[in-house]
């Protein structure tokens, strides 16, 4: 069906078949320098849903920014039908500072839906929810592991949501984790407004990993193909394994402080007692092996060279949803 309805966002009009970059300007730097958030909109002349690809809610999670940038550069965001909106950097203030939090120390992903007259982070959240989200049907928000913790490519969805599970099947990341929607998060705010959102996690902060970026781009293409929005100019990569659903997981924590040596088993299936890494002191007096507490997949590994007692160093699955659908174990 031909689309004749104009789209009105941030006092701008975007017609069917039009591409336009509009800007959110909420506040300035302390130097009076303007900070604008580019919102890249591509519309088809054929009616269809509206999909949002967003990243950079935490300004140091660069891998997500790279994924959305790649969608734009490769013209994957030019839809066969409907509308695709890309916001590569939501949290422009933190991105400039290469930090997770806003200058006031607040985490943008804990203040949604925000407030018109609240903190700076809260005002950002308010305008995203007010000006962007009412137009969205589906969304993928791209994240990376905080600090030096490297996430295997994974989708996170709330349990007992069959519609999101179907979309996670389509996206087909190596892993899908069931995790509750936390109050104050972008995902939680979108769910309350009936936006079907997948949260992608992959890589670590202040880093670009090509494999993780490729997983994110390929998943986005599969999602668009499922919605009949992917241009025929783009080919889908073949999926060799179904996503592995993890219903329960836990963290392995450092039992003492020291230099940390990770043995690079991210994404692998390991048996209980398998040596994942080791902790040593700087003076050659001790070496403590870090062993898997149970059989499971390693879905996150800490890449910090120095750890303290109690630091989270590995994230391991405890329970899989479909044991008969496990991929071949490394």
Output the pLDDT for position 50.
98
Output the pLDDT for position 330.
45
pLDDT in tens, 64-96: 999 999 999 999 999 999 999 999 999 999 999
- Residue 321: other Cβ atoms inside 10 A: 14
What is the rounded CA–CA span in Å between residue 46 and residue 1? 6
- Upper half-sphere CA count for residue 289 (Cβ side, 13 Å): 7
pLDDT value at 325 more than 60: no
Closest CA to 161 of 135, 193, 191: 191
More confident residue, 227 or 27: 227
Across the strands, what pairs with 19?
42
Closest CA to 122 of 113, 131, 130: 113
pLDDT value at 294 more than 80: yes
Sign of the torsion angle spanned by Cα atoms 9, 13, 15, 20: negative
Mean pLDDT taken over the chain: 95
pLDDT in tens, 50-64: 999 999 999 999 999
Average pLDDT rounded to a whole number, residues 308-321: 96
Output the pLDDT for position 253.
98
Cα angle at 151 between 240 and 88, to 5 degrees? 90
pLDDT in tens, 161-194: 999 999 999 999 999 999 999 999 999 999 999 9
Quick one: which H or E segment has residue 216?
helix 210-226
User: What residues contact 70, with CB distance under 8 A and at least 6 apart?
Assistant: 76, 213, 216, 217
What band does 281 get if pLDDT is binned at 50, 70 and 90? very high
Closest CA to 216 of 330, 76, 44: 76
**Per the confidence metrics, is the pTM higher than 0.85?**
yes
Cα angle at 186 between 185 and 191, to 5 degrees? 100
Fold of 248-325: OB fold (Dihydrolipoamide Acetyltransferase, E2P) (2.40.50)
What band does 322 get if pLDDT is binned at 50, 70 and 90? low
Percent of the chain whose pLDDT exceeds 70? 97
Contact 268, 237 (CB under 8 A): no
Kindly report the CATH number that applies to the domain delimited by 7-226: 3.40.630.10
pLDDT in tens, 100-135: 999 889 999 999 999 999 999 999 999 999 999 999
Numbered ranges of CATH 2.40.50.100 in the chain: 248-325
CA dihedral 273, 151, 243, 56 (to 10 degrees): 170
Numbered ranges of CATH 3.40.630.10 in the chain: 7-226
Contact 229, 81 (CB under 8 A): yes
Going edge to edge, which strands form the sheet with 275-280?
Answer: 287-291, 275-280, 258-262, 306-307
Average pLDDT rounded to a whole number, residues 310-330: 74
Closest CA to 172 of 236, 225, 239, 108: 239
Output the pLDDT for position 316.
98
What is the rounded CA–CA span in Å between residue 229 and residue 172? 17
CA 185 vs. chain centroid, Å, equals 12
Closest CA to 151 of 299, 305, 307: 299
């Amino acid at each position: 069906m031909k689309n004749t309805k104009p789209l009105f966002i941030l006092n701008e009009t975007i017609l069917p078949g039009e591409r336009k970059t509009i800007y959110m300007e909420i506040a300035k730097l302390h130097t009076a320098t303007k900070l604008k958030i580019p919102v890249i909109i591509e519309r088809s002349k054929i009616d269809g849903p509206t999909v949002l690809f967003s990243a950079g809610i935490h300004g140091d999670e660069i891998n997500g920014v790279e994924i959305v940038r790649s969608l734009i550069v490769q013209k994957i965001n030019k839809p066969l039908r409907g509308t695709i909106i890309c916001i590569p950097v939501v949290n422009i203030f933190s991105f400039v500072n290469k930090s997770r939090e806003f200058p006031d120390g607040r985490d943008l992903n804990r203040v949604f839906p925000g407030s018109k007259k609240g903190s700076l982070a809260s005002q950002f959240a308010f305008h995203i929810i007010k000006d962007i989200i009412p137009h969205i049907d589906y969304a993928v928000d791209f994240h990376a592991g905080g600090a030096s913790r490297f996430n295997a490519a994974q989708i996170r969805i709330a349990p007992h949501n069959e519609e999101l599970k179907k979309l996670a099947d389509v996206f087909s990341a190596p892993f899908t984790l069931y995790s509750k929607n936390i109050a104050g998060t972008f995902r939680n705010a979108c769910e309350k407004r009936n936006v079907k959102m997948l949260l992608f996690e992959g890589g670590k902060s202040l880093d670009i990993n090509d494999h993780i970026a490729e997983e994110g781009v390929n998943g986005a293409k599969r999602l668009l193909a499922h919605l009949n929005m992917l241009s025929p100019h783009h080919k889908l990569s073949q999926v060799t394994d179904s996503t592995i659903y993890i219903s329960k997981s836990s963290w392995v924590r450092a039992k003492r402080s020291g230099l940390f040596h990770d043995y690079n088993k991210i994404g692998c299936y390991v048996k209980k007692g398998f040596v994942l890494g080791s902790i040593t002191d700087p003076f050659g007096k001790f070496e403590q092996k870090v062993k898997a507490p149970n059989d499971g997949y390693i879905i996150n590994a800490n890449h910090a060279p120095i750890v303290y007692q109690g630091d989270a160093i590995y994230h391991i699955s405890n329970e899989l949803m479909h044991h008969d659908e496990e991929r071949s174990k490394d």
